Amino acid sequence: MKHRIVVLGAGYAGAFSAGYLARQLHSDDFEITVVNAEPDFVERVRLHQLAAGQDLRSRPLAKVFAGTGIRLRVARVTSVDPEHRTVTVVDGEGIDRLEYDTLLYALGSTAADHGVPGVDEHAFHVATRPNALRLRARLDELGEDGKVLVVGGNLTAIEAATEIAESRPGLRVSLATSGNVGGWLGTKARRHLLRAFDRFGITVHEHTTIERVEEAAAFAADGTAFASDATVWAAGFVVHPIAAASGLEVVPNGQIAVDRQMRSVSHPDVYVAGDSVFVIGDNGFPYPMSCASAGPTSKQAIASIVGDRTGRKIAPTSLTYFGNHISLGRKDGIFQLVDGDARSKPGALRGRTAARVKSAILDIAAWSVSHPTLGKASHKYRLATTREHSPHVVAG
C-alpha cells in the first residue's frame, strides 16, 4: 500500500510543496493528493489588483499538476482529525473523509475582523478571490461616484487603497488606521508613501480605531462617523480555526506550533507551511505571515517530509526575513529592507524601479508554482522500511 501524503491548500506554500514532493518521491511508494477549495491557483498578493478591476492570468490547478501524478481534489476542508489521520472535506457531491499517512497543512490565512461588529456583514476584503470579486462588483456599481474607506495601515491596506485610487480615480478613497500608516517604514520610504497618497488624493486618518461597521458608514472609537459606500477591511490576518479545533497544538493566534523542521509539536506526522505555521525565524522573532514566508517554510517542510519518509538527512533552510515590498499602484512601489532585528533600514528602493522589481518577483513566484517540477532534480526516493524523525536539522 502506498504512503498517502495529503496537502491541504494550493496557494504559494501548498502548490509549490506538492509539486516538489512529486519530483522527489517515487510514485510506486507515494501517493500525493492536494485539496483546494478553488480549481485555480490564486495569486493572493495580486488580489487587490483583481478587486480594483484588473484581470489576472488564469492558472488552473489541473493544468499545473498535469503529468506530476498528483491527485487534485477541489473541495473545502471542514475538519482535521490528527488522532485518526483523516481530513473531512465537502464538495458538490457531499461530505467525504480522506485518510493520510503524512499531512502537509497549508491552508493559509484570511482577514481578521478582530471581533468588530458589522465587519462580516458589511465590510469587504481582499484576502480571498471570492471576496476580492465581491469588492470588485461593488466598485463597479459605484462607477465614478462613491466613497471607499480602507481600514488598516499595513501592507494590504496600503496596496488596496493605492490600487483602487489609481484604477478608479473618480472614487474618493480614504484610509483609517489605529496607528501610523506605514509606521514601520524607514524615514525615506514613509515620506515616499505619503507623497504617493497625496498624489492619489487618498485622505489618511491616523490614530483612528474603527469599532463598528455599518452598510454606509464606519464608526471610530471617539464616535466619529466615516461615510462609506464600500468599507475595505485590511486590518490584519488570522489563520483558519480548523487548526485549533483539530486538537493540534496552536499558539494564541491559532497558528500551529512546530519544531524547526516544520513538524507539529503535538502530532509529528503533520507538517505545516505558509501563514498557518508558528516558527521562530533566524533572527529570534516569530516568522511573519507573508508571501515571502511561504517559500522558506515550504522548503523546510519538503526537506523534512522527504528526510523523515526516506531516511535521508534533512537539509536546513534559512528562515531569514529581508524586508517588505509594497506596490503603490502599477507604476510606483517601495522595497523596504530590514536588519537582523527586523527593524527597517534607513534606505529603501522606491518608485518605478521598486514596482518593476516587485512585479518581476511575483511573476517568477507564479511561474514557479505553475511549473512545479520543471528544472528541479528528479530523485525519486523510495519509502524507508523504518521511520525515525530526526531531532535536528543537519546538512544533507
Q: Are residues 278 and 365 in the same domain?
A: yes
Taking residue 262's Cβ as centre, other Cβ atoms within 10 Å add up to 29
Answer yes or no: do 104 and 117 share one domain.
Answer: no
Show which of 190, 217, 233 is a domain's final residue. 233
* Residue 74, helix vs strand vs coil: strand
Q: Nearest to residue 173, comparing CAs of 217, 205, 193, 203?
A: 203
Range of the domain at 174: 113-233
* Residue 225 lies inside a defined structural domain of this protein: yes
Please tell me the distance from the alpha carbon of residue 316 to that of residue 392, in angstroms, as a whole number. Answer: 9
268-306: b (≥16 Cβ within 10 Å) or e: bbbbbbbbbbbbebeeeeebebbbbbbbbbbbbbbbbbb
CA gap 296, 3 in Å, rounded: 25
Report the C-alpha gap between 31 and 27 in whole angstroms: 6
How many C-beta neighbours within 10 Å does residue 245 have? 13
Phi, psi of 394, deg, nearest 5:
-130, 155
pLDDT tens, N- to C-terminus, the chain (396 residues): 899 999 999 999 999 999 999 999 999 999 999 999 999 999 999 999 999 999 999 999 999 999 899 999 999 999 999 999 999 999 999 999 999 999 999 999 999 999 999 999 999 999 999 999 999 999 999 998 999 999 999 999 999 999 999 999 999 999 999 999 999 899 999 999 999 999 999 999 999 999 999 999 999 999 999 999 999 999 999 998 999 999 999 999 999 999 999 999 999 999 999 999 999 988 888 988 887 788 999 999 999 999 999 999 998 999 888 888 999 999 999 999 888 777 888 889 999 999 999 999 899 888 888 877 665 556 689 999 755 554 444 333
Q: Please tell me whether residues 296 and 363 are part of one structural domain.
A: yes
Is 384 a member of any domain? no
What is the model's pLDDT at position 373? 65
- Contact present, 300 and 317 (Cβ < 8 Å): yes
- Among 185, 164, 172, 177, smallest CA distance to 235 is for 177
Whether residues 8 and 101 fall in one domain: yes
pLDDT, residue 394, reads 37
- 53: closest CA among 165, 199, 145? 165
Based on the fold, state whether residues 270 and 152 are members of the same structural domain. no
The tally of domains found in the chain comes to: 2
Report pLDDT for 341. 72
Residues 223 and 282 in one domain: no
For residue 115, which phi and psi values (nearest 5 degrees)? 75, 15
What span, in angstroms and rounded, lies between the C-alpha atoms of 178 and 248? 33
Q: Which residues contact 368 (CB under 8 A, 6 or more apart)?
A: 16
For residue 176 the three cell numbers come to 483609517
Q: Grid cell 482529525 — which residue?
A: 81
The reply to whether 353 falls in a domain is no
Are both 54 and 117 inside the same structural domain?
no
- Is 152 inside any structural domain? yes
Tell me if 381 is assigned to some domain.
Answer: no
Residue 167: the pLDDT is 97
Question: Cell numbers at residue 35, please?
Answer: 485539496
Lookup: cell for 157: 491596506
Q: What is the CATH number of the domain that holds 176?
A: 3.50.50.60
Last residue of a domain, one of 206, 233, 260: 233
DSSP states along 6-35: EEE--SHHHHHHHHHHHHHB-TTTEEEEEE
Is 366 in the same domain as 245? yes
The domain boundary, picked from 180, 205, 233, lies at 233
Q: Are residues 79 and 140 in the same domain?
A: no
Does residue 390 sit within a domain?
Answer: no
> Which residue from 163, 108, 135, 171 is spatially nearest to 51, judged by alpha carbons?
135
Same-domain check for residues 7 and 91:
yes
For the record, the C-alpha cell of 46 comes out as 495580486
Beta-bridge partner residues of 323: 337
Note whether 249 and 104 are same-domain residues.
yes
If we measure between CA atoms, which residue out of 334, 352, 342, 325 comes closest to residue 191?
334
Does one domain contain both 248 and 317? Answer: yes
* CA-closest candidate to residue 258, choices 242, 237, 281: 281
Sign of the C-alpha dihedral computed for residues 254, 309, 303 and 372 taken in this order: negative
Residue 95 domain-assigned (yes or no): yes
| Amino acid residing at 143 | G
Whether the CB-CB separation of 119 and 127 falls below 8 Å is answered with no
d(CA 108, CA 78) in angstroms, rounded, equals 14
